[in-house]
Structure 1
Amino acid sequence: MTVLEWVYAATFAMLGVGVLFALHRLVRGPSVLDRIVCLNAVSVLVVSAIAVGSALRGGAAYVGLMVTVALLGFVGTLTAARFAERRAHDRG
């Protein structure tokens, strides 16, 4: 195993741990806004994992997938934040 393969393996491991921590906070989050931030963090980590996998394979075939996941994460975060804001405004 070359040094670069070790770096890719370590990067995937760290991204996996980050996703686990974010999912843990998503489940235990004390507020809706914490959960929204965690969903955004998970989408960023997924895009990062796709980018590392694309670099490992040496191609740019997954750029469209990365852009799609990033845009879905962004739009989902905006929608959830807007919903949380309206919900907080309606409560008083």
Structure 2
Amino acid sequence: MRAVAVCLTVLLGLAGALTLVRILRGPSVLDRVIATDVLLAIIVAAVAADAAYHRDATALPVLVVLSVLGFVGSVSVARFSTGAAPPSATPSPASAAEPDR
């Protein structure tokens, strides 16, 4: 079991280091944001692996908060990176009945 924990630590550390390189060198802002989201997923995986290894359930609220933070961050970046205007209010029935002049 200890060999699996060491192997997992090395792999997560390597993934985190490569993700930090992408955050620092990313050619665009979107690359940096995606790399930050990947880094958050790596942190969630590391906390979950630590909780499983030590058989400690007190890290579960932290995992939930980090997961929600990652989801909300990804959705908000996807929403604002498209450049689309927010949906406008639907026209009122009175203005829809009037013909354009």
TM-score after normalising by structure 1: 0.82
**Mapped partners of 1:66, 1:11: distance in 2:** 18
Bigger-Rg structure (1/2): 2
Please report how far the alpha carbon of residue 61 of structure 1 lies from its aligned counterpart in structure 2 after TM superposition: 1.5
Alignment partner of 2:13 out of 12, 16, 28: 16
Count residues with an aligned counterpart.
Answer: 85
Q: Which residue of 2 aligns with 1:50?
A: 47
Alignment partner of 1:36 out of 15, 33, 40: 33
Which one scores higher on RCO, CA 8 angstroms, separation ≥ 6?
A: 1
User: 2:19 corresponds to which letter in structure 1?
Assistant: A
Q: Gapped runs of 5+ residues in structure 1?
A: none
Please report how far the alpha carbon of residue 80 of structure 1 lies from its aligned counterpart in structure 2 after TM superposition: 2.1
What's the CA shift string for 1:6-26, capped at 9, x where partnerless?
A: 211110111011011011101
Please report how far the alpha carbon of residue 49 of structure 1 lies from its aligned counterpart in structure 2 after TM superposition: 0.1
Please report how far the alpha carbon of residue 82 of structure 1 lies from its aligned counterpart in structure 2 after TM superposition: 2.1
Q: Which residue of 2 aligns with 1:71?
A: 68
Determine which structure has the larger helix proportion and give its number.
Answer: 1
Structural RMSD (CA): 1.5
Give the secondary structure class of the aligned counterpart of 1:61.
helix
% same residue: 32
TM-score after normalising by structure 2: 0.76
Runs of 4 or more off by more than 4 Å in structure 1? Answer: none
Give the secondary structure class of the aligned counterpart of 2:9.
helix
Q: Gapped runs of 5+ residues in structure 2?
A: 86-101
